[in-house]
Structure 1
Amino acid sequence: MSRWLLHGIVWTAMLIIFVTLIQLDASWADCEEVIWFGIYLSFFIEICSCVKKPFFVFSFAFFSLGLLLDILDSYFASSFPIINVLDTPIKHIGLILICYCLLRIAKSRLSKIEQLRVEIERRITLEKDLRFLAYHDELTGLFNRRAFFEHFEQQHFDQAYLYYFDLNNFKNANDKYGHHIGDELLATFSHSLSRLYPNDKAYRLGGDEFVLICSELIDDIELFKQQLDQPLVKYMVSVSVGMQCLKSGDDPDHALHLADQKMYIDKEANRSRFIVNMFDFQP
């Protein structure tokens, strides 16, 4: 049955009762109680359509019964004195039950809101973690190849320098000492790179190839290489580097290619020099 039909039935009945009371010369207080009872019944109909809680519906119905008895006690109190005894307690009990139901509903909503908040925070954290993994190398924590190309396209270089690094003899050290040592070497080199140039962006392109974009030229490249070599030399690993100046509009692949060529020139020069210089380092 439509709630609008129920509203119509309620107010038709209230109108009939109201007219009857007027004909019986009832007091205005009695007529007013009928009007308020009709309002409560309409509200009760709306509540039932919105709140699908049987106990809440029962509580409101219990409260409405108290209101009805409060109206009837003026006419039937002499015949049924129990009505005058029960009307007020039933109203109060019904009101207490309504408040209790509202409290339970409020707690349930607050619990769901808290669950949603926790879920939203979990999703935000997950999105941050996924974004971090998408743009960072899992082993070293440096930016990865994808991040390099995106950052390169977004930057406008007035004056910058791209340094391309390769670890000499890394494959042999990885095969000889094990992959865990290979991972340690990559992580150690990454830490050294970030420690020496914390304000510049370092990237691991893959394998043992790394890139550093500096805003300033490294004055003493040989000293820089020695600082990078020092924690690696005990495994017979050293660093080769090639540098390429950057300017706005440069193609990242072309810049990498030029730096890579210069790095291989340094690698060839490093083959003979490393065997001599390694004895100057203290492992």
Structure 2
Amino acid sequence: MKHPYWLVIIWLIVLICSMWLLNVEQPQFDTIEELFWAAISVSLTLQVYSYLSNKLLIYAWVLYCSGLLLDLLDDIIDTQLFPLLIFDTTLKNSGFLLTCTALLLLIKEKRTTISSLNDEIQTRQALQEQLEYDASHDKLTGLGNRRACFARFEQLQQQYQRIFYFDLDNFKYANDHYGHRQGDLILLDFAVRLSEQFDAQNCFRLGGDEFVAFCNEDTPDIQHLRQQLTSMIKTYQVGVSIGFADLNSDSHPDQILHMADQKMYRDKKCKSMRNTSRTPPP
């Protein structure tokens, strides 16, 4: 039988018994009250027992309901006929105490579960943040990557006047001649010096040995900038070609990068004319 039918039957019995108790010579209001409490307890038990997994709480509640029923029968049946009725108060109090204990244990268990879930959420958030960081930053240098550059381009275009385009000269030779580990150190050193000259948040590695940086310098000293950026890596016969373009708010990012790239290539054609005396490391 479904729960709703049981509830209807229980409360019909309560109604019939209440009507009968009210029509006797001395209405027993205490018994009616106990009857209602017993019905409420049984109804509640029918509603929640299938959702409870804590056996101690189930047993405690059954014990408490049994005490209520014995308390109700105590007003109807003579104790001499059913001696167990004398344990009604004991069962109710014991059931109540066990219920409180079970609820306390249940609360502690749920707090532990919630704490574990919070730890898992924090771990997942940290993982999500790390994934987002890895997706927008170059693993070697820590600078923003090409994806991050284009994602923030329009925002930076509104804040800054100029974009610089950098391409390392002779990097492939140094990478092949001195080894990939030294090649990584060259890229890392260049990225660190680039971040010192510009805000690291405005510097990006587009890929390979190509970098860009946003700034507000009106008249940049290209030769001085070149010297600052290559003071270490020129020992490995690596230089840098530099191009730049104005950040016109009406121009598309691809057009601006193309103009800066074209100036960088013109600068690269002039690298043989620079005073780039370098001494290879021993």
TM-score, L = length of structure 2: 0.88
More divergent stretch after superposition (3-12 vs 185-194) = 3-12
Matches within 5 A, 1:105-184: 105-157=106-158, 160-184=161-185
Q: Structure 1 residue 40: deviation in Å?
A: 2.0
**Secondary structure, aligned partner of 1:167:** strand
Aligned to 1:78: 80
- State the distance in 2 between where 1:18 and 1:82 align: 24
Q: Secondary structure at the match of 2:228?
A: helix
Query: Residue 51 of structure 1 corresponds to which residue in structure 2?
Result: 52
Query: Are the equivalent residues in 2 in contact too, given 1:242–1:262 (CA < 8 A)?
Result: yes
Give the superposition deviation at 1:165.
0.8
Aligned residue for 1:109, secondary structure, equals helix
Give the deviation of 1:270 after TM superposition. 2.2
Classify the secondary structure of the residue corresponding to 2:154: helix
Q: Indicate the RMSD between aligned Cα atoms, in angstroms.
A: 2.6
Go from structure 1 to structure 2 and tell me whether the alpha carbon gap of 1:122 and 1:263 turns closer, same or farther (over 3 Å shift). Answer: same
Unaligned runs of 5+ in 1: none
- Taking the aligned partners of 2:248 and 2:281, their CA distance within structure 1 comes to 39
Contact 1:200 1:215 in 2 (8 A): no
Q: Give the aligned partner of residue 217 of structure 2.
A: 216
- Cα distance change of structure 1 residues 73 and 144 upon mapping to structure 2, 3 Å threshold: same
Q: Distance in 2 between matches of 1:170 and 1:14?
A: 92
Identity among equivalent positions (%) equals 38
In 2, distance between residues paired with 1:229 and 1:248?
31
Deviates more, 1:253-262 or 1:148-157: 148-157
2:98 and 2:201 mapped to 1: Cα distance? Answer: 66
Partner SS for 1:204: strand
Distance in 2 between residues matched to 1:7 and 1:73, nearest whole Å = 24
Q: Which has the larger displacement, 160-169 or 251-260?
A: 251-260
Question: Which position in structure 2 is the counterpart of 1:4?
Answer: 4
Change over 3 Å in CA distance of 1:178–1:282 after alignment to 2: closer
Q: Distance in 2 between matches of 1:120 and 1:198?
A: 33
Q: Give the conservation status (yes or no) of the 8 Å contact 1:158–1:247.
A: no
Q: 1:137 to 1:207 in 2, by over 3 A?
A: same
1:55 CA drift (Å)? 3.9
Q: Distance in 2 between matches of 1:195 and 1:158?
A: 19
Measured in 2, the distance between the counterparts of 1:109 and 1:19 equals 44
Structure 1 residue 68 and structure 2 residue 69: aligned? yes
Partner SS, residue 76 of structure 1: coil
**Structure-2 separation of matches of 1:158 and 1:78:** 94
Counterpart code for 1:251: H
Please tell me whether the aligned partners of residues 200 and 213 of structure 1 are also in contact (alpha carbons under 8 angstroms).
Answer: no
3-state DSSP class of the match of 1:116?
Answer: helix
Change (3 A) 1:158 1:227: closer
For structure 2, the residue ranges without an aligned partner over 5 or more in a row are none
Map Cα deviations across residues 229-249 of structure 1 (whole Å, 9 max, x no partner). 111122111122112222112
Task: Please state whether the residue corresponding to 2:274 is helix, strand or coil.
Answer: helix
Once the 2 structures are TM-superposed, how far is the Cα of residue 69 of structure 1 from its aligned partner?
1.5
Residue 155 and residue 219 in structure 1: after superposition, are their counterparts in 2 closer, same or farther (change >3 A)?
A: closer
Q: How far apart are the structure 2 equivalents of 1:187 and 1:164?
A: 17
Sort the Cα spacing of 1:28 and 1:48 in 2 relative to 1 into closer, same or farther, 3 A. same
TM-score (norm 1): 0.88
